[in-house]
Structure 1
Amino acid sequence: MVSWSGHIVPFIVTVAIWFIATGLIAWADNRERATFSRSLVIGSVAGIAGLVVILVASLSAEVWAVYLAFVGALMVWGWHELSFLTGAAAGPRRGPSDPSLTGIARFRQAAGTVMHHEVALALTALLLISLSWNVPNQIGATVFVLMFGMRLISKINLFVGVPNTTSEMLPEHLAYLKTYFGRNRMTVLLALSVAGLVAMSAWFATLALAAPVGSAQMVGGSLLFTLSLLGVLEHLFLALPFRDGMLWGWAIPKRAGPQRKAAGSQERNVTT
Protein backbone atom coordinates (compact mmCIF):
# COMPACT_ATOMS: atom_id res chain seq x y z
CA MET A 1 0.00 0.00 0.00
CA VAL A 2 1.29 3.42 -0.97
CA SER A 3 1.78 5.78 1.98
CA TRP A 4 1.57 9.56 1.71
CA SER A 5 4.27 10.25 4.31
CA GLY A 6 6.39 7.21 3.49
CA HIS A 7 6.27 7.25 -0.31
CA ILE A 8 4.67 10.35 -1.86
CA VAL A 9 6.35 13.02 0.30
CA PRO A 10 9.88 11.58 -0.19
CA PHE A 11 9.22 11.43 -3.93
CA ILE A 12 8.16 15.09 -4.06
CA VAL A 13 11.07 16.19 -1.85
CA THR A 14 13.65 14.38 -4.01
CA VAL A 15 12.31 15.72 -7.32
CA ALA A 16 12.05 19.27 -5.97
CA ILE A 17 15.61 19.28 -4.57
CA TRP A 18 16.98 17.69 -7.77
CA PHE A 19 15.31 20.28 -9.98
CA ILE A 20 16.22 23.34 -7.89
CA ALA A 21 19.77 22.22 -7.01
CA THR A 22 20.60 21.37 -10.63
CA GLY A 23 19.33 24.77 -11.73
CA LEU A 24 21.31 26.64 -9.07
CA ILE A 25 24.55 24.86 -9.98
CA ALA A 26 23.95 25.54 -13.69
CA TRP A 27 23.33 29.21 -12.88
CA ALA A 28 26.51 29.52 -10.81
CA ASP A 29 28.72 27.74 -13.36
CA ASN A 30 27.47 29.75 -16.35
CA ARG A 31 28.12 33.17 -14.84
CA GLU A 32 31.22 35.31 -15.36
CA ARG A 33 34.47 33.72 -14.22
CA ALA A 34 35.00 36.56 -11.75
CA THR A 35 32.14 35.11 -9.68
CA PHE A 36 33.61 31.60 -9.48
CA SER A 37 35.80 32.23 -6.44
CA ARG A 38 32.82 33.42 -4.41
CA SER A 39 30.71 30.49 -5.62
CA LEU A 40 33.46 28.04 -4.65
CA VAL A 41 33.74 29.53 -1.16
CA ILE A 42 29.99 29.23 -0.67
CA GLY A 43 30.02 25.72 -2.13
CA SER A 44 32.91 24.66 0.08
CA VAL A 45 31.16 25.89 3.22
CA ALA A 46 28.00 24.05 2.15
CA GLY A 47 29.97 20.89 1.37
CA ILE A 48 31.74 20.83 4.73
CA ALA A 49 28.43 21.56 6.45
CA GLY A 50 26.96 18.64 4.50
CA LEU A 51 29.62 16.31 5.88
CA VAL A 52 28.83 17.43 9.42
CA VAL A 53 25.12 16.99 8.77
CA ILE A 54 25.68 13.43 7.54
CA LEU A 55 27.75 12.57 10.62
CA VAL A 56 25.14 13.98 13.00
CA ALA A 57 22.22 12.35 11.20
CA SER A 58 23.98 8.99 10.95
CA LEU A 59 23.63 8.53 14.72
CA SER A 60 19.83 8.38 14.53
CA ALA A 61 17.47 6.07 12.64
CA GLU A 62 14.49 8.42 12.92
CA VAL A 63 12.66 9.77 9.87
CA TRP A 64 13.99 13.30 10.37
CA ALA A 65 17.55 11.96 10.41
CA VAL A 66 17.00 10.14 7.11
CA TYR A 67 15.88 13.38 5.45
CA LEU A 68 18.75 15.26 7.06
CA ALA A 69 21.36 12.77 5.87
CA PHE A 70 19.83 12.86 2.39
CA VAL A 71 20.12 16.64 2.23
CA GLY A 72 23.67 16.48 3.63
CA ALA A 73 24.73 14.06 0.89
CA LEU A 74 23.30 16.35 -1.79
CA MET A 75 25.17 19.31 -0.26
CA VAL A 76 28.45 17.40 -0.51
CA TRP A 77 27.60 16.28 -4.04
CA GLY A 78 26.75 19.84 -5.08
CA TRP A 79 30.14 20.99 -3.76
CA HIS A 80 31.90 18.50 -6.05
CA GLU A 81 29.74 19.42 -9.04
CA LEU A 82 30.42 23.12 -8.53
CA SER A 83 34.16 22.46 -8.30
CA PHE A 84 34.08 20.49 -11.54
CA LEU A 85 31.88 22.77 -13.60
CA THR A 86 33.79 25.90 -12.60
CA GLY A 87 36.97 24.13 -13.70
CA ALA A 88 38.54 24.19 -10.23
CA ALA A 89 38.72 20.38 -10.02
CA ALA A 90 38.45 18.85 -13.47
CA GLY A 91 41.65 17.23 -14.72
CA PRO A 92 45.20 17.93 -15.89
CA ARG A 93 44.10 18.12 -19.53
CA ARG A 94 42.26 21.34 -20.35
CA GLY A 95 42.06 21.25 -24.15
CA PRO A 96 40.25 19.50 -27.03
CA SER A 97 40.87 15.90 -27.98
CA ASP A 98 43.31 14.71 -30.58
CA PRO A 99 41.07 13.46 -33.43
CA SER A 100 43.77 11.05 -34.60
CA LEU A 101 43.59 8.98 -31.40
CA THR A 102 41.39 5.92 -30.99
CA GLY A 103 40.84 3.12 -28.47
CA ILE A 104 42.81 3.15 -25.23
CA ALA A 105 44.82 6.23 -26.22
CA ARG A 106 41.62 8.23 -26.72
CA PHE A 107 40.22 6.94 -23.41
CA ARG A 108 43.38 7.92 -21.52
CA GLN A 109 43.22 11.39 -23.01
CA ALA A 110 39.54 11.75 -22.11
CA ALA A 111 40.19 10.49 -18.58
CA GLY A 112 42.76 13.24 -18.19
CA THR A 113 40.03 15.87 -18.50
CA VAL A 114 38.07 14.62 -15.45
CA MET A 115 40.67 12.71 -13.44
CA HIS A 116 40.91 15.10 -10.47
CA HIS A 117 37.13 15.26 -10.17
CA GLU A 118 36.68 11.49 -10.26
CA VAL A 119 39.43 10.89 -7.71
CA ALA A 120 37.87 13.47 -5.38
CA LEU A 121 34.47 11.79 -5.72
CA ALA A 122 35.92 8.34 -5.08
CA LEU A 123 37.82 9.48 -1.99
CA THR A 124 34.72 11.21 -0.62
CA ALA A 125 32.65 8.07 -1.23
CA LEU A 126 35.24 5.95 0.62
CA LEU A 127 35.29 8.47 3.48
CA LEU A 128 31.50 8.40 3.85
CA ILE A 129 31.41 4.61 3.66
CA SER A 130 34.05 4.30 6.39
CA LEU A 131 32.30 6.83 8.63
CA SER A 132 28.91 5.14 8.12
CA TRP A 133 30.00 1.53 8.41
CA ASN A 134 28.39 0.64 11.75
CA VAL A 135 25.94 3.49 12.33
CA PRO A 136 22.13 3.29 12.47
CA ASN A 137 21.58 5.65 9.53
CA GLN A 138 23.62 4.97 6.38
CA ILE A 139 21.45 6.91 3.93
CA GLY A 140 24.00 9.73 3.46
CA ALA A 141 26.77 7.43 2.24
CA THR A 142 24.32 5.38 0.18
CA VAL A 143 22.95 8.44 -1.61
CA PHE A 144 26.43 9.76 -2.44
CA VAL A 145 27.68 6.39 -3.71
CA LEU A 146 24.51 5.96 -5.79
CA MET A 147 24.94 9.36 -7.42
CA PHE A 148 28.64 8.70 -8.02
CA GLY A 149 27.85 5.42 -9.75
CA MET A 150 25.12 6.90 -11.94
CA ARG A 151 27.29 9.85 -12.94
CA LEU A 152 30.21 7.56 -13.81
CA ILE A 153 27.93 5.44 -16.02
CA SER A 154 26.64 8.52 -17.84
CA LYS A 155 30.18 9.79 -18.50
CA ILE A 156 31.24 6.44 -19.95
CA ASN A 157 28.16 6.44 -22.17
CA LEU A 158 28.96 9.94 -23.42
CA PHE A 159 32.50 8.83 -24.23
CA VAL A 160 31.30 5.76 -26.13
CA GLY A 161 28.54 7.71 -27.88
CA VAL A 162 24.83 8.35 -27.36
CA PRO A 163 22.03 9.45 -29.71
CA ASN A 164 21.59 12.81 -27.97
CA THR A 165 24.61 14.77 -26.75
CA THR A 166 22.80 17.99 -25.87
CA SER A 167 25.04 20.07 -23.62
CA GLU A 168 23.34 23.41 -23.17
CA MET A 169 24.16 23.36 -19.45
CA LEU A 170 27.87 22.83 -20.06
CA PRO A 171 29.71 26.12 -19.34
CA GLU A 172 31.61 27.74 -22.19
CA HIS A 173 34.98 27.30 -20.46
CA LEU A 174 34.39 23.51 -20.52
CA ALA A 175 33.23 23.41 -24.16
CA TYR A 176 36.34 21.39 -25.04
CA LEU A 177 34.79 18.40 -23.26
CA LYS A 178 32.37 18.02 -26.17
CA THR A 179 35.26 16.90 -28.36
CA TYR A 180 35.61 13.79 -26.20
CA PHE A 181 32.00 12.70 -26.74
CA GLY A 182 31.51 9.71 -28.98
CA ARG A 183 29.53 9.95 -32.19
CA ASN A 184 25.74 10.11 -32.01
CA ARG A 185 24.50 6.55 -31.95
CA MET A 186 22.50 4.07 -29.92
CA THR A 187 24.70 1.52 -28.16
CA VAL A 188 24.20 -1.69 -26.24
CA LEU A 189 25.94 -0.02 -23.28
CA LEU A 190 23.30 2.69 -23.05
CA ALA A 191 20.48 0.14 -23.30
CA LEU A 192 22.07 -1.99 -20.56
CA SER A 193 22.64 1.12 -18.43
CA VAL A 194 18.97 2.07 -18.60
CA ALA A 195 17.88 -1.51 -17.92
CA GLY A 196 20.23 -1.78 -14.94
CA LEU A 197 19.02 1.49 -13.45
CA VAL A 198 15.40 0.44 -13.94
CA ALA A 199 16.12 -2.84 -12.12
CA MET A 200 17.80 -0.97 -9.28
CA SER A 201 14.85 1.43 -9.05
CA ALA A 202 12.48 -1.53 -8.86
CA TRP A 203 14.58 -3.04 -6.04
CA PHE A 204 14.48 0.18 -4.03
CA ALA A 205 10.72 0.35 -4.67
CA THR A 206 10.22 -3.15 -3.22
CA LEU A 207 12.23 -2.16 -0.14
CA ALA A 208 10.11 0.96 0.34
CA LEU A 209 6.84 -0.93 -0.12
CA ALA A 210 7.85 -3.75 2.23
CA ALA A 211 8.99 -1.47 5.07
CA PRO A 212 6.68 -0.63 8.01
CA VAL A 213 4.37 2.30 7.28
CA GLY A 214 5.87 5.63 8.31
CA SER A 215 9.22 4.11 9.24
CA ALA A 216 12.66 5.49 8.45
CA GLN A 217 13.26 2.42 6.26
CA MET A 218 10.23 3.30 4.15
CA VAL A 219 11.30 6.92 3.73
CA GLY A 220 14.89 5.93 2.96
CA GLY A 221 13.80 3.37 0.37
CA SER A 222 11.51 5.93 -1.27
CA LEU A 223 14.26 8.54 -1.43
CA LEU A 224 16.65 6.06 -3.05
CA PHE A 225 13.94 4.84 -5.45
CA THR A 226 13.19 8.37 -6.62
CA LEU A 227 16.87 9.23 -6.97
CA SER A 228 17.58 6.13 -9.06
CA LEU A 229 14.44 6.83 -11.11
CA LEU A 230 15.82 10.29 -11.87
CA GLY A 231 19.00 8.52 -12.96
CA VAL A 232 16.91 6.50 -15.41
CA LEU A 233 15.36 9.74 -16.67
CA GLU A 234 18.74 11.40 -17.17
CA HIS A 235 19.98 8.40 -19.16
CA LEU A 236 16.82 8.45 -21.26
CA PHE A 237 17.65 12.09 -22.03
CA LEU A 238 20.82 10.75 -23.66
CA ALA A 239 18.73 8.61 -25.98
CA LEU A 240 15.88 11.00 -26.75
CA PRO A 241 15.92 14.39 -28.54
CA PHE A 242 15.69 16.34 -25.30
CA ARG A 243 17.23 19.77 -24.64
CA ASP A 244 18.56 20.69 -21.19
CA GLY A 245 17.17 24.19 -21.67
CA MET A 246 13.63 22.84 -21.67
CA LEU A 247 13.87 22.25 -17.91
CA TRP A 248 16.65 24.55 -16.76
CA GLY A 249 16.59 27.37 -19.28
CA TRP A 250 15.59 29.70 -16.44
CA ALA A 251 18.92 29.04 -14.74
CA ILE A 252 21.25 29.42 -17.72
CA PRO A 253 22.24 33.02 -18.59
CA LYS A 254 21.70 33.96 -22.21
CA ARG A 255 24.91 33.58 -24.16
CA ALA A 256 25.89 35.85 -26.99
CA GLY A 257 25.86 34.06 -30.31
CA PRO A 258 28.67 34.34 -32.89
CA GLN A 259 26.98 37.12 -34.85
CA ARG A 260 26.29 39.14 -31.72
CA LYS A 261 29.90 38.71 -30.55
CA ALA A 262 31.23 39.74 -33.95
CA ALA A 263 28.99 42.80 -33.99
CA GLY A 264 30.17 43.73 -30.50
CA SER A 265 33.78 43.37 -31.59
CA GLN A 266 33.22 45.58 -34.64
CA GLU A 267 31.48 48.19 -32.50
CA ARG A 268 34.45 48.27 -30.12
CA ASN A 269 36.84 48.69 -33.05
CA VAL A 270 34.82 51.63 -34.37
CA THR A 271 34.71 53.40 -31.02
CA THR A 272 38.45 53.05 -30.31
Structure 2
Amino acid sequence: MSSYALAIGYALFLWWFSTGVILYLNGLPRRTYPVSLIAATALMVALVVLIYLVRDHDDLWGAYLGFTAGVLVWGWLEMVYFMGLVTGPHKQACPPGCTGWRRFRLALGASIYHELLLLLIAALLIAVTWGAANQLGTWTFVILWLMRWSAKLNLFLGVPNLNEDWLPEHVRFITSYLRKRPMNLLFPISVSVATVVMSLLVEAALELPAEGFAGVSLILAATLLALAILEHWFLVLPLADGALWRWVTTSGDRESTTDGLGAVDQKTVD
Protein backbone atom coordinates (compact mmCIF):
# COMPACT_ATOMS: atom_id res chain seq x y z
CA MET A 1 0.00 0.00 0.00
CA SER A 2 2.98 2.31 0.31
CA SER A 3 2.99 2.58 -3.49
CA TYR A 4 -0.60 3.82 -3.41
CA ALA A 5 0.18 6.33 -0.65
CA LEU A 6 3.09 7.64 -2.70
CA ALA A 7 0.87 7.92 -5.79
CA ILE A 8 -1.78 9.86 -3.86
CA GLY A 9 0.83 12.18 -2.36
CA TYR A 10 2.44 12.78 -5.76
CA ALA A 11 -0.88 13.56 -7.44
CA LEU A 12 -1.77 16.00 -4.65
CA PHE A 13 1.59 17.75 -4.90
CA LEU A 14 1.54 17.95 -8.71
CA TRP A 15 -2.00 19.40 -8.68
CA TRP A 16 -1.15 21.94 -5.98
CA PHE A 17 2.26 23.02 -7.27
CA SER A 18 1.46 23.11 -11.00
CA THR A 19 -1.71 25.11 -10.29
CA GLY A 20 0.32 27.54 -8.20
CA VAL A 21 2.94 28.00 -10.92
CA ILE A 22 0.27 28.71 -13.54
CA LEU A 23 -1.50 31.14 -11.23
CA TYR A 24 1.79 32.89 -10.59
CA LEU A 25 2.65 33.22 -14.30
CA ASN A 26 -0.86 34.39 -15.18
CA GLY A 27 -0.71 37.01 -12.44
CA LEU A 28 2.54 38.55 -13.65
CA PRO A 29 2.47 41.76 -15.76
CA ARG A 30 1.15 41.09 -19.26
CA ARG A 31 4.49 42.04 -20.80
CA THR A 32 5.83 38.73 -19.45
CA TYR A 33 3.19 36.64 -21.23
CA PRO A 34 5.04 36.12 -24.55
CA VAL A 35 8.09 34.63 -22.81
CA SER A 36 5.89 32.43 -20.61
CA LEU A 37 3.86 31.22 -23.57
CA ILE A 38 6.90 30.42 -25.72
CA ALA A 39 8.51 28.45 -22.90
CA ALA A 40 5.27 26.68 -22.01
CA THR A 41 4.56 25.79 -25.64
CA ALA A 42 8.03 24.29 -26.06
CA LEU A 43 7.44 22.27 -22.90
CA MET A 44 4.03 21.14 -24.15
CA VAL A 45 5.54 19.80 -27.37
CA ALA A 46 8.15 17.92 -25.34
CA LEU A 47 5.40 16.50 -23.11
CA VAL A 48 3.42 15.17 -26.07
CA VAL A 49 6.62 13.52 -27.31
CA LEU A 50 7.12 12.08 -23.81
CA ILE A 51 3.60 10.61 -23.82
CA TYR A 52 4.46 8.96 -27.13
CA LEU A 53 7.80 7.64 -25.87
CA VAL A 54 6.33 6.04 -22.72
CA ARG A 55 3.25 4.60 -24.39
CA ASP A 56 4.75 1.10 -24.29
CA HIS A 57 6.23 1.43 -20.79
CA ASP A 58 3.78 -0.30 -18.47
CA ASP A 59 5.91 0.15 -15.37
CA LEU A 60 5.90 2.62 -12.48
CA TRP A 61 8.13 5.11 -14.30
CA GLY A 62 5.78 4.98 -17.27
CA ALA A 63 2.77 5.62 -15.01
CA TYR A 64 4.28 8.64 -13.29
CA LEU A 65 5.71 10.14 -16.47
CA GLY A 66 2.49 9.68 -18.41
CA PHE A 67 0.41 11.14 -15.58
CA THR A 68 2.71 14.13 -15.15
CA ALA A 69 2.75 14.84 -18.87
CA GLY A 70 -1.06 14.71 -19.07
CA VAL A 71 -1.47 17.17 -16.19
CA LEU A 72 1.12 19.61 -17.58
CA VAL A 73 -0.30 19.51 -21.11
CA TRP A 74 -3.57 20.56 -19.53
CA GLY A 75 -1.75 23.35 -17.72
CA TRP A 76 -0.50 24.70 -21.05
CA LEU A 77 -4.07 24.86 -22.32
CA GLU A 78 -5.08 26.84 -19.25
CA MET A 79 -2.26 29.31 -19.82
CA VAL A 80 -3.02 29.94 -23.49
CA TYR A 81 -6.60 30.85 -22.63
CA PHE A 82 -6.07 33.08 -19.63
CA MET A 83 -3.11 34.82 -21.22
CA GLY A 84 -5.34 35.57 -24.22
CA LEU A 85 -3.49 33.57 -26.89
CA VAL A 86 -6.44 31.34 -27.82
CA THR A 87 -9.93 32.36 -26.71
CA GLY A 88 -12.92 33.02 -28.96
CA PRO A 89 -14.41 35.66 -31.26
CA HIS A 90 -16.77 37.09 -28.65
CA LYS A 91 -14.99 39.29 -26.12
CA GLN A 92 -17.81 41.36 -24.66
CA ALA A 93 -19.85 41.03 -21.51
CA CYS A 94 -23.29 39.45 -21.62
CA PRO A 95 -25.88 42.00 -22.87
CA PRO A 96 -28.53 43.04 -20.34
CA GLY A 97 -31.57 40.78 -20.39
CA CYS A 98 -29.82 38.07 -22.41
CA THR A 99 -31.05 34.63 -21.36
CA GLY A 100 -31.51 31.07 -22.56
CA TRP A 101 -29.79 29.75 -25.67
CA ARG A 102 -28.59 33.20 -26.74
CA ARG A 103 -26.70 33.55 -23.48
CA PHE A 104 -25.25 30.07 -23.96
CA ARG A 105 -24.17 30.81 -27.54
CA LEU A 106 -22.47 34.05 -26.55
CA ALA A 107 -20.75 32.34 -23.61
CA LEU A 108 -19.51 29.60 -25.91
CA GLY A 109 -18.32 32.24 -28.35
CA ALA A 110 -16.00 33.59 -25.69
CA SER A 111 -13.95 30.38 -25.77
CA ILE A 112 -14.88 28.40 -28.89
CA TYR A 113 -11.38 28.54 -30.41
CA HIS A 114 -10.00 27.20 -27.16
CA GLU A 115 -12.60 24.43 -27.14
CA LEU A 116 -11.54 23.43 -30.64
CA LEU A 117 -7.92 23.44 -29.53
CA LEU A 118 -8.90 21.11 -26.69
CA LEU A 119 -10.48 18.75 -29.19
CA LEU A 120 -7.35 18.86 -31.32
CA ILE A 121 -5.03 18.08 -28.40
CA ALA A 122 -7.33 15.31 -27.17
CA ALA A 123 -7.39 13.77 -30.65
CA LEU A 124 -3.60 14.02 -30.86
CA LEU A 125 -3.10 12.26 -27.51
CA ILE A 126 -5.60 9.55 -28.41
CA ALA A 127 -3.80 9.03 -31.71
CA VAL A 128 -0.30 8.73 -30.22
CA THR A 129 -1.44 6.27 -27.52
CA TRP A 130 -4.00 4.29 -29.48
CA GLY A 131 -3.70 0.59 -28.66
CA ALA A 132 -0.67 1.23 -26.43
CA ALA A 133 -0.02 -0.37 -23.06
CA ASN A 134 0.34 2.99 -21.32
CA GLN A 135 -2.50 5.41 -22.05
CA LEU A 136 -2.44 7.16 -18.67
CA GLY A 137 -1.34 10.52 -20.12
CA THR A 138 -4.37 10.52 -22.42
CA TRP A 139 -6.81 9.41 -19.71
CA THR A 140 -5.42 12.04 -17.34
CA PHE A 141 -6.18 14.69 -19.95
CA VAL A 142 -9.67 13.28 -20.59
CA ILE A 143 -10.53 13.34 -16.86
CA LEU A 144 -9.53 16.99 -16.61
CA TRP A 145 -11.42 17.80 -19.79
CA LEU A 146 -14.69 16.17 -18.74
CA MET A 147 -14.59 17.59 -15.22
CA ARG A 148 -13.85 21.06 -16.55
CA TRP A 149 -16.93 20.89 -18.76
CA SER A 150 -18.96 19.73 -15.77
CA ALA A 151 -17.72 22.66 -13.71
CA LYS A 152 -18.31 25.12 -16.57
CA LEU A 153 -21.91 24.01 -16.92
CA ASN A 154 -22.43 24.31 -13.18
CA LEU A 155 -20.99 27.83 -13.24
CA PHE A 156 -23.26 28.73 -16.16
CA LEU A 157 -26.36 27.32 -14.43
CA GLY A 158 -25.49 28.92 -11.12
CA VAL A 159 -23.40 28.33 -7.99
CA PRO A 160 -22.70 30.48 -4.91
CA ASN A 161 -18.95 30.97 -5.46
CA LEU A 162 -17.73 32.48 -8.72
CA ASN A 163 -14.48 33.89 -7.27
CA GLU A 164 -14.48 36.56 -9.95
CA ASP A 165 -11.97 38.73 -8.09
CA TRP A 166 -9.24 36.25 -9.00
CA LEU A 167 -9.69 36.65 -12.76
CA PRO A 168 -7.37 38.88 -14.81
CA GLU A 169 -9.03 42.06 -16.01
CA HIS A 170 -8.85 41.11 -19.69
CA VAL A 171 -11.01 38.00 -19.20
CA ARG A 172 -13.24 39.15 -16.35
CA PHE A 173 -16.12 39.75 -18.76
CA ILE A 174 -16.61 35.95 -18.68
CA THR A 175 -18.25 36.21 -15.26
CA SER A 176 -21.17 38.10 -16.80
CA TYR A 177 -22.25 34.80 -18.35
CA LEU A 178 -22.16 32.98 -15.03
CA ARG A 179 -24.92 32.92 -12.48
CA LYS A 180 -24.72 33.20 -8.71
CA ARG A 181 -27.36 31.10 -7.00
CA PRO A 182 -27.46 28.62 -4.09
CA MET A 183 -27.59 25.49 -6.25
CA ASN A 184 -28.55 24.07 -9.63
CA LEU A 185 -29.97 20.67 -10.52
CA LEU A 186 -26.86 19.57 -12.41
CA PHE A 187 -24.50 19.93 -9.44
CA PRO A 188 -25.62 16.91 -7.35
CA ILE A 189 -25.76 14.77 -10.49
CA SER A 190 -22.29 15.70 -11.71
CA VAL A 191 -20.70 15.28 -8.28
CA SER A 192 -22.48 11.97 -7.66
CA VAL A 193 -21.50 10.48 -11.03
CA ALA A 194 -17.88 11.56 -10.61
CA THR A 195 -17.79 10.16 -7.07
CA VAL A 196 -19.13 6.80 -8.24
CA VAL A 197 -16.51 6.63 -11.00
CA MET A 198 -13.77 7.56 -8.55
CA SER A 199 -14.94 4.85 -6.15
CA LEU A 200 -14.91 2.26 -8.94
CA LEU A 201 -11.35 3.25 -9.87
CA VAL A 202 -10.22 2.84 -6.25
CA GLU A 203 -12.05 -0.47 -5.91
CA ALA A 204 -10.39 -1.78 -9.06
CA ALA A 205 -6.97 -0.61 -7.86
CA LEU A 206 -7.36 -2.40 -4.52
CA GLU A 207 -7.86 -5.67 -6.35
CA LEU A 208 -4.52 -5.28 -8.16
CA PRO A 209 -0.93 -5.61 -6.95
CA ALA A 210 -0.01 -2.35 -5.22
CA GLU A 211 3.41 -2.29 -6.86
CA GLY A 212 2.11 -2.73 -10.39
CA PHE A 213 1.55 -0.30 -13.23
CA ALA A 214 -2.21 -0.83 -13.47
CA GLY A 215 -2.91 -0.30 -9.78
CA VAL A 216 -0.77 2.82 -9.47
CA SER A 217 -2.27 4.24 -12.68
CA LEU A 218 -5.79 3.77 -11.32
CA ILE A 219 -4.87 5.43 -8.03
CA LEU A 220 -3.30 8.41 -9.81
CA ALA A 221 -6.39 8.81 -11.97
CA ALA A 222 -8.73 8.39 -8.98
CA THR A 223 -6.83 10.99 -6.96
CA LEU A 224 -7.01 13.49 -9.80
CA LEU A 225 -10.73 12.84 -10.13
CA ALA A 226 -11.14 13.33 -6.37
CA LEU A 227 -9.40 16.69 -6.63
CA ALA A 228 -11.71 17.70 -9.48
CA ILE A 229 -14.67 16.74 -7.31
CA LEU A 230 -13.20 18.83 -4.49
CA GLU A 231 -12.99 21.80 -6.85
CA HIS A 232 -16.69 21.31 -7.61
CA TRP A 233 -17.43 21.53 -3.88
CA PHE A 234 -15.38 24.74 -3.72
CA LEU A 235 -18.06 26.22 -5.98
CA VAL A 236 -20.83 25.76 -3.41
CA LEU A 237 -19.25 25.58 0.05
CA PRO A 238 -17.97 28.59 2.05
CA LEU A 239 -14.36 27.42 1.92
CA ALA A 240 -11.32 29.67 1.46
CA ASP A 241 -9.72 27.59 -1.28
CA GLY A 242 -7.49 30.53 -2.23
CA ALA A 243 -5.49 29.89 0.95
CA LEU A 244 -3.99 26.83 -0.76
CA TRP A 245 -2.12 29.14 -3.13
CA ARG A 246 -1.48 32.08 -0.83
CA TRP A 247 2.22 31.83 -1.67
CA VAL A 248 1.35 32.78 -5.25
CA THR A 249 -0.30 36.07 -4.31
CA THR A 250 2.27 37.08 -1.71
CA SER A 251 5.46 36.50 -3.69
CA GLY A 252 7.01 37.97 -6.79
CA ASP A 253 6.16 41.00 -8.89
CA ARG A 254 2.36 41.03 -9.08
CA GLU A 255 0.35 43.44 -11.20
CA SER A 256 -2.41 43.61 -8.58
CA THR A 257 -4.55 41.30 -6.51
CA THR A 258 -7.34 41.66 -9.02
CA ASP A 259 -5.13 40.37 -11.83
CA GLY A 260 -4.60 36.99 -10.21
CA LEU A 261 -6.49 33.77 -10.80
CA GLY A 262 -8.25 31.44 -8.43
CA ALA A 263 -7.59 27.75 -8.94
CA VAL A 264 -11.24 26.92 -9.41
CA ASP A 265 -11.80 29.77 -11.87
CA GLN A 266 -8.70 28.94 -13.84
CA LYS A 267 -9.74 25.35 -14.36
CA THR A 268 -13.39 25.83 -14.94
CA VAL A 269 -14.42 29.20 -16.30
CA ASP A 270 -12.58 29.23 -19.63
Is 1:180 aligned to residue 181 of structure 2? no
Amino acid at match of 1:102: T
Report the counterpart of residue 52 of structure 1 in structure 2: 49
The alpha-carbon deviation at position 168 of structure 1 amounts to 4.1
Is 1:4 aligned to residue 2 of structure 2? yes
1:203 to 171, 196, 200: 200
Is 1:170 aligned to residue 167 of structure 2? yes
Report the counterpart of residue 260 of structure 1 in structure 2: none
Q: Distance in 2 between matches of 1:66 and 1:59?
A: 11
Q: Distance in 2 between matches of 1:110 and 1:185?
A: 21
95-104 vs 32-41, greater mean Cα deviation: 95-104
Q: Is the 8 A contact 1:165 1:184 kept in 2?
A: no
In structure 2, relative to structure 1, the CA distance for the partners of 1:15 and 1:256 (3 Å cut) is: closer
1:13 to 10, 29, 32: 10
Report the counterpart of residue 38 of structure 1 in structure 2: 35
35-44 vs 235-244, greater mean Cα deviation: 235-244
| Unaligned stretches of 5+ residues in structure 1 | 258-272
Q: Distance in 1 between matches of 2:86 and 2:240?
A: 26
2:95 to 84, 93, 98: 98
Q: Distance in 1 between matches of 2:51 and 2:107?
A: 33
Q: Distance in 2 between matches of 1:170 and 1:23?
A: 14
Q: Is the 8 A contact 1:60 1:136 kept in 2?
A: yes
Report the counterpart of residue 153 of structure 1 in structure 2: 150
The alpha-carbon deviation at position 244 of structure 1 amounts to 4.1
Amino acid at match of 1:233: L
Query: In the TM superposition, what are the counterparts of 1:82-97 in structure 2 within 5 Å?
Result: 82-97=79-94
Q: Distance in 1 between matches of 2:247 and 2:210?
A: 38
Q: Which runs of 4+ in 1 moved over 4 A?
A: none
Is 1:234 aligned to residue 219 of structure 2? no
1:76 to 47, 63, 73: 73
Report the counterpart of residue 266 of structure 2 in structure 1: none
Amino acid at match of 2:214: Q
Q: Is the 8 A contact 2:166 2:257 kept in 1?
A: no
Report the counterpart of residue 138 of structure 2 in structure 1: 141
Structure of greater relative contact order (alpha carbons < 8 Å, 6+ residues apart): 2
Q: Distance in 1 between matches of 2:57 and 2:6?
A: 20
Report the counterpart of residue 27 of structure 1 in structure 2: 24
Q: Is the 8 A contact 1:69 1:139 kept in 2?
A: yes
The alpha-carbon deviation at position 153 of structure 1 amounts to 0.8
Bigger Rg, which one:
1
| 1:200-230 Cα shifts (integer Å, max 9, x gaps) | 1101101211112300011101101100000
In structure 2, relative to structure 1, the CA distance for the partners of 1:248 and 1:168 (3 Å cut) is: farther
The alpha-carbon deviation at position 256 of structure 1 amounts to 6.2
Q: Distance in 1 between matches of 2:241 and 2:23?
A: 10
Q: Distance in 2 between matches of 1:215 and 1:168?
A: 44
Q: Distance in 2 between matches of 1:169 and 1:201?
A: 29
Is 1:62 aligned to residue 59 of structure 2? yes
Amino acid at match of 1:255: S
Q: TM-score if structure 2 supplies the norm length?
A: 0.90
The alpha-carbon deviation at position 185 of structure 1 amounts to 2.4
The alpha-carbon deviation at position 156 of structure 1 amounts to 0.9
Report the counterpart of residue 223 of structure 1 in structure 2: 220
**Percent of residue pairs identical:** 33
Amino acid at match of 2:211: G
